[in-house]
Structure 1
């Protein structure tokens, strides 16, 4: 008969109770081990591009079928998730929201993403644009919105499917620390209050409606808070040039640093219809609105050129508000509009530091991941990278422009 090992050593077989104690100790030790590295709650960090660069970004307006559903994070916007209201609520098992998105941003984004449509209003002369009143999830006083209108900040502007780049623009603004654009999310609408073209399943951007945006009383120029011509604008950009400008007083109250933020932002997105609505800084295609409306011909006379979408809030008249930020991500690199930078001799230090860090693409991916609808419609990180590479190339061109012209940076408040 074969002897058991413990008999060879003179040991007695362990009692069943002792075996149970040993097993419990082993399980307790395993439970205290740290999780393996691949369990990190932040799956979207900086990654090296695996596909070659493209000269033109892929359009956002065409939705892409994702190869696999993106991992769900507690910081991503959900239709059944209440607004985030405190720093403690920002923290969870799946990690924090990106620090450049404030609690106020997250509350407004949640309202836009999941708020019930309770009213609608057409915006004159703006085609497929609707202003809607929104009732927040769990808001017992939502019926009062019909009486209050939009002065309480519970409204949004639904724009066209082709304006989805406004979502990218909002996240770019926050990543760079400019904080001048308005919270914007992508959303599909189902409300019976909306026309069928809004509820056909297409993805549209919805932008938070500013209650106290200041408009001129002139019906032909109501997209400005102040009247400002190109020559006046260039004069304002000169050192100590504010006092010599005889233009609108509300424009003169806007500090030079605001124009620097705007120029940097518009160059990266190639937003022409603000500082250069006449397309004087490049040779436009015949399909450009500035050509169809025969605005480009006015470039011969700078005195006739005016700026548009120069807006401020009545509560903050010295701070610009960036609207209509879709820009032209497909604008060819050989036609970049450097006129947008004309007269600007310094840029905000924090934004320039982010551009120089080499992390712009990864930061934008981390930020865009919060918007579930946009992220999944574009195929996640893989689908968004061509567009982000285009923005990144423009950032490198801007940095080269700053270096070649020996321009400076200035420290500025992020608020």
Structure 2
């Protein structure tokens, strides 16, 4: 067992365990809710901030891309530079930076400023989820760590059902700037709760940026990240064009779109919990099964787009595949050894890469003249590619003998 995810080692490094671990998980999940709300709601706010800033919808899309770029850039840099920072302190700093980025976004006077401020808001995203997952796993026994991680990520999945519609309503009736302000307030609340309830989490002896970078030398880390970056892309290939599919193919009214997005969010939430339960019983088996599930659900999508009644259950099933995030987060705890923070943070860089790859491939297929239902076949191809990478990871995994792992832990502790 890795010393960083071992509750006994964590307690030794941080002092007594907190009296209310459930409050710690609640605080961390509120941070996930804040991040999920602003990440997904920003897409639905384009019709409001684009005309206000005097830009077109296509140009406004760069605002969304700026946030994703911030996630990809910020996760590894912050994880490495903060290797010697106590985890509670780091989480508070990350939430304060997130609050700053969203607060400034709410005040942005021009398009250029908004792009820059969204980049700032994206910087702490990956590092926050990575560190929060490690803290959550350290609060429970090894056989329940995936479920603890899922509690943190549940904040993000619940945001797709509650936070995003709420932020959209705020944008419609009060103003888009207040939606970003709402996210900033949630971030400040998270920073306060984490400071009050989370364990200190002093860095383990020998922690350093160089040791964190050691994660990049491990093939299993790269294979796990690639599984998420490719395999998760299928879900985003469909999600990005879901609203357009409903309007152009299903011929649904615009009022049905929020309902469908909420159904997708419900699938994400349930999939997150079920996949976490499965991962605590076999992480690689859970990852493979989730990818197979996604491929099958995505294959049903092209045949379900003709009616809302057939589309709703299929979109729910596709959403359930989002539980892959929790599974791969746990897998990284197993393969990253003593470079946990960087590997955990990179998991979210990988998923934001999937968020870019899925729509990109789907857009190529649409530009070639295929209809919106074809995005489902793009999703199937990406899920199968992710499954192939998972197979390579499984075939090349060579677990170290228990005696060798024990010797390495004693060496690091010394």
TM-score of the alignment, normalized to the shorter chain, above 0.5: no
Shorter-chain TM-score bucket reads under 0.3
Q: Give the number of the structure with larger relative contact order, counting CA–CA contacts within 8 Å between residues 6 or more apart.
A: 2
Q: Give TM-score scaled by structure 2 length.
A: 0.23
The structure whose residues are more often strand, as a share, is 1
Q: Which one has the largest radius of gyration?
A: 1
